[in-house]
Amino acid sequence: MSSQHGPIQVATGLTQPAAYDPGYQPGGAGRNPRRALRGWLMWGLLIAGFTIAGLALAAYFQASLGIVTVLLALLLAALPLGIVVPTFLWLDRFEAEPTKYLVIAFLWGALVASLVAAIFNTGAMLIIQAAGDPTSAMAATAVVVAPVVEESLKGLLVLLIWRLRRREFDGLTDGLVYAGITAAGFAFTENIQYLGQAYAEGGGELLAATFIGRGVLSPFAHPMFTALTGIGIGIAATARSTGVRVIAPIIGWILAVLAHGLWNLSAVTGGSGLLVGYFLIGVPVFLGYLSLVVWARRREGRLIGRHLSPYADAGWLSPGEVTMLASMAHRREARVWAKTNSGAAGLRAMRDFQDAASELGLLRQRMYHQAANDRVLITERELLDDMTTARRTFIGSTR
């Protein structure tokens, strides 16, 4: 039944599942000590970097605004996160990204990208200011410099995840999710600064106006900009052409910079310019953005169902399971059934089964666009093992 790669047979450019054997026993991959050491070193560097960036931002806010103002601004800046972050978690329900990577994305935006952007933006404004008046320098920085710097830094995290953690990056939806979470973190820190400055300069009245403008009317501004880069990287992740894999992220980044620059331009003009930018550009783009999010989620469900069908043909899944896995409503029904049938352990197993199946379906999508290799085949075998083990748990069977 099994080839040298396990329960998989290799076809030209794609794998074809072998027929399922009810007596198949999932294997276990050995732990690589050197890989574990590299993982610990990576996490140590990340924690150290985030800590340094966080301390630097805290020191800057405390020195420029004062602790009371910073705490008030932080509280208000956190409120929009209650809308923005759940939106991307909702989009990510079919094949949930690892929590640790989502946390890294948020911290990258909130700490690293914010700190580096502040340094570059301030430096650029001082250079421009030396050659002209302060008002022109602020406008040029907001419209030209800030969009390039900020979208580059936010998009860099999405690019790194795609290049370094390809197993966790399956295409368009993942590009949107990582871009949105990173941008939410960036907007959070930026809002602390703007809200704190508003309170320090104009008291409660200016603080309320700033919160309405940034936290109520445009909480998705930064995610919408960076989502364009995420879309470009998501397209590249499933592209067969090397040219598309190179050009798509660049085009996405350029569109993100242009959208960010136009938004800032409408803000610096004030008055009628801000209203025109908001209602003629911001609102239509936001509605289109929401439509894209809904479409992307439905598309991911369809892709999972389509690419899991060969495993149903080979007996690894039943047709009913494929139907269930392609619909979020049916997934919820399955989790209720598993909990009723096998308790908390059954519910955990069903979730593990659904997660592994989603990852398998999206892995097969990548295999369809790019030739299979030994590493992909090993991942496929591991996911089939995970699904087999989970199913036997929630149905209470050893076969």
Q: Determine the Cα–Cα distance for residues 140 and 257; give it in Å rounded to an integer.
A: 14
Whether residue 353 is predicted with pLDDT greater than 80 in this model: the reply is yes
Residue 399: per-residue pLDDT: 53
65 and 26 within one domain: no
198 and 106 within one domain: yes
- Radius of gyration, CA atoms only, the chain: 24
pLDDT-derived band at 74 (thresholds 50, 70, 90) equals very high
Q: Which residue has the higher pLDDT, 269 or 244?
A: 244
DSSP at 14: S
Q: Does residue 106 form part of some domain? A: yes
In the structure encoding, which two tokens stand for residue 100, read together?
Answer: 């640790």
65 and 25 within one domain: no
Q: Does residue 208 form part of some domain? A: yes
Among 48-57, 72-81, 89-98, 274-283, the range scoring the smallest mean pLDDT is 274-283
Q: Which structural domain, as residue segments, surrounds residue 388?
A: 8-30+304-394
Angle at 136 between CA 134 and CA 139, to 5 degrees: 110
Q: Give the count of beta carbons closer than 10 Å to the beta carbon of residue 27.
A: 13
Q: Does residue 94 form part of some domain? A: yes
Of 269, 287, 319, the residue that ends a domain is 269
Residue 372: per-residue pLDDT: 55
Number of domains in the chain: 2
379 and 264 within one domain: no
Residue 349: per-residue pLDDT: 93
Residue 8: per-residue pLDDT: 47
Of 269, 293, 320, the residue that ends a domain is 269
210 and 66 within one domain: yes
pLDDT-derived band at 277 (thresholds 50, 70, 90) equals confident
Residue 14: per-residue pLDDT: 57
Q: Does residue 311 form part of some domain? A: yes
248 and 140 within one domain: yes
Q: Does residue 389 form part of some domain? A: yes
The length of the chain, given as a count of residues: 399
264 and 344 within one domain: no
257 and 205 within one domain: yes
Q: What is the pTM of this model?
A: 0.84
Q: Does residue 200 form part of some domain? A: yes
Q: Determine the Cα–Cα distance for residues 152 and 121; give it in Å rounded to an integer.
A: 13
Q: Determine the Cα–Cα distance for residues 264 and 149; give it in Å rounded to an integer.
A: 13
pLDDT tens-digit series, residues 154-204: 999 999 999 888 777 888 899 999 999 999 999 999 999 999 999 999 999
Q: Determine the Cα–Cα distance for residues 11 and 309; give it in Å rounded to an integer.
A: 16
Name the average pLDDT for the chain.
86
24 and 102 within one domain: no
Whether residue 10 is predicted with pLDDT greater than 50 in this model: the reply is no
Mind giving me the DSSP string for 373-385?
Answer: -HHHHHHHHHHHH
Residue 40: per-residue pLDDT: 80
228 and 364 within one domain: no
Whether residue 132 is predicted with pLDDT greater than 80 in this model: the reply is no
317 and 185 within one domain: no
199 and 88 within one domain: yes
CB distance 157 to 191 below 8 Å: no
In the structure encoding, which two tokens stand for residue 219, read together?
Answer: 């909480």
Q: Does residue 293 form part of some domain? A: no
Among 62-66, 105-109, 145-149, the range scoring the smallest mean pLDDT is 62-66
Q: Does residue 399 form part of some domain? A: no
Sign of the C-alpha dihedral computed for residues 351, 88, 49 and 253 taken in this order: positive
